[in-house]
Amino acid sequence: MADAHDELISLHRQMLLIRRFEEAAARAYSQGKVGGFLHLYIGQEASAVGALATLGAGDSVVGTYRDHGLALARGVTARACMAELYGKVTGCSKGLGGSMHFFDAEKRMLGGDGIVGGHVPVAAGVAFASKYRGERDVTLCFLGEGAVSIGGFHEALSLAALWSLPLIVIVENNEYSMGTPLSRTLSVHDTSEKAHGYGIARDRFHAHDVLEVKRRVGEAVARARETSRPTLIEVQTYRYRGHSMSDPGKYRTADEIEAAKKTDAIAGAELALRAAGLGDAFFAEVERSVDAEVDDAVRFADESAEPGEELIEALTYA
């Protein structure tokens, strides 16, 4: 029990860090310090944090353009992430990737991909490499439910199933493909049903409880590690913010968003920890340390150097 308690303390802090980091990123965007697209993960934190808590150092993570939470949960520093948003050379992709392209070779974070569904075959290839080498590493691939309609998702699942690759595909169903609700993009409510067509294992659950996310994804990770079989998982979640910063959000009501917040996983984790005896002083300290980490990241990003012109062509070829 003590282990689970300590773990929840850690996961709660990770989720809070992602949320505060992204709130700071949104402020920086409004100030013009962050450019391009900024897709926030706020509301979905338990998905990445719970899922990545199951991984070891040799496992790999591949995600979409909504990748800040993934990178932070994978242990990429807030400094490197914020600096990337600021386009600074100290960023996790040297300021050449931006919000949508967070990479960290050491942490085995392989993007940050901006083409919907295009990264799923790539993730399958990373899993293929593990199997080819006879290693026990697994690959987690994240995508939104909006990506379930595109071909790359299906070809990747088809091949991962055929070749029995150690791949876990996690569809984060946040109910909206940009501004279009799932009911208008898919003929099924449950995207994990797509697994039937490929004869692979499936699972579906809410991301209300980060420990439950960890437990359920952990089953799939164990299956991949032990038997090299892929799994398709739908994590039911909700993003409180728009698709990107330019989203006016006219496709849903404020009431709907407020209702979703009632099952907020960070609040849920806090309640569970309070029930286990932790009090205001503890949570104040967590808030303080998270704020300090984010403030430090913002300051670091602000003060870091821009990448030099010499990098424009230099990083095109190996």
Partner 1 sequence: MRELRYREALREALAEEMERDPGVFLMGEEVGYYQGAYKVTEGLLERFGARRVIDTPIAEEGFAGIGIGAAMAGLRPVIEFMTMNFSAVAFDQILNHAAKIRQMSGGQFKCPIVFRGPNGAARQTGAQHSQCFEAFYTHIPGLKVVAPATPADAKGLLKAAIRDDNPVLVLEDERLYGVKGEVPDGDFVVPLGVSALRREGDEATVVTWGKMLPVTLAACEELAKEGVACDVIDLRSLRPLDLGPVLRSVAKTGRALVVQESWPFGGVGAEVVDRIQREAFDALRGPVLRVTGRDAPMPYNKHLEDLTIPSADTVARGVRALLAW
Tell me if 158 contacts partner 1 by CB under 8 A.
yes
Contact 26, 38 (CB under 8 A): yes
Tell me if 248 contacts partner 1 by CB under 8 A.
no
| Token representation of residue 141 | 């691939």
Tell me if 294 contacts partner 1 by CB under 8 A.
no
Residue 52: CB minimum distance to partner 1, A = 18
Tell me if 136 contacts partner 1 by CB under 8 A.
no
Binding-site member from 11, 120, 170, 195 for partner 1 (CB under 8 A): 120
In whole angstroms, how far apart are CA 271 and each of 7, 275, 281, 285, 290? 15, 6, 14, 16, 18
Residue 148: CB minimum distance to partner 1, A = 15
Residue 131: CB minimum distance to partner 1, A = 9
Tell me if 124 contacts partner 1 by CB under 8 A.
yes
Tell me if 87 contacts partner 1 by CB under 8 A.
no
- Cα–Cα distance, 82 to 105 (Å, whole number): 17
Nearer to partner 1, 69 or 307 (CB): 307
Residue among 237, 147, 160 at smallest CA distance from 198: 160
Residue 283: CB minimum distance to partner 1, A = 36
Binding-site member from 28, 40, 82, 127 for partner 1 (CB under 8 A): 127
Question: 101 burial class (0-12, 13-18, 19+ CB within 10 angstroms)?
Answer: middle
Residue 156: CB minimum distance to partner 1, A = 6
Binding-site member from 125, 146, 230, 242 for partner 1 (CB under 8 A): 125
- Cα–Cα distance, 52 to 20 (Å, whole number): 19
Nearer to partner 1, 50 or 91 (CB): 91
- Cα–Cα distance, 290 to 108 (Å, whole number): 24
Nearer to partner 1, 152 or 268 (CB): 152
Stated as kind and residue range, the H or E segment containing 42 is: none
Residue 96: CB minimum distance to partner 1, A = 5
Tell me if 26 contacts partner 1 by CB under 8 A.
no
User: Which residues from 161-200 bind partner 1, rule CB under 8 A?
Assistant: 162
Q: What are phi and psi of 63, to 5 degrees?
A: -135, -170
| Token representation of residue 290 | 């998270």
- Cα–Cα distance, 37 to 34 (Å, whole number): 9
Binding-site member from 43, 121, 166, 268 for partner 1 (CB under 8 A): 121
Question: What is the β-pairing status of strands 201-206 and 231-236?
Answer: parallel
- Cα–Cα distance, 52 to 307 (Å, whole number): 30
- Cα–Cα distance, 157 to 200 (Å, whole number): 9
Tell me if 112 contacts partner 1 by CB under 8 A.
yes
Residue 237: CB minimum distance to partner 1, A = 25
Nearer to partner 1, 146 or 242 (CB): 146
Residue 162: CB minimum distance to partner 1, A = 7
Tell me if 57 contacts partner 1 by CB under 8 A.
no
Residue 315: CB minimum distance to partner 1, A = 4
Q: What are phi and psi of 3, to 5 degrees?
A: -65, -45
Contact 259, 266 (CB under 8 A): no
Give the other-Cβ count within 10 Å of 231's Cβ.
25
Cβ-based neighbours of 94, under 8 Å, separated by 6 or more = 307, 311, 315
Tell me if 103 contacts partner 1 by CB under 8 A.
yes
The residue ranges that bind partner 1 (CB under 8 A) are 60, 62, 91-97, 101, 103-105, 110-115, 118-130, 132-133, 151-152, 155-156, 158-159, 162, 313-318
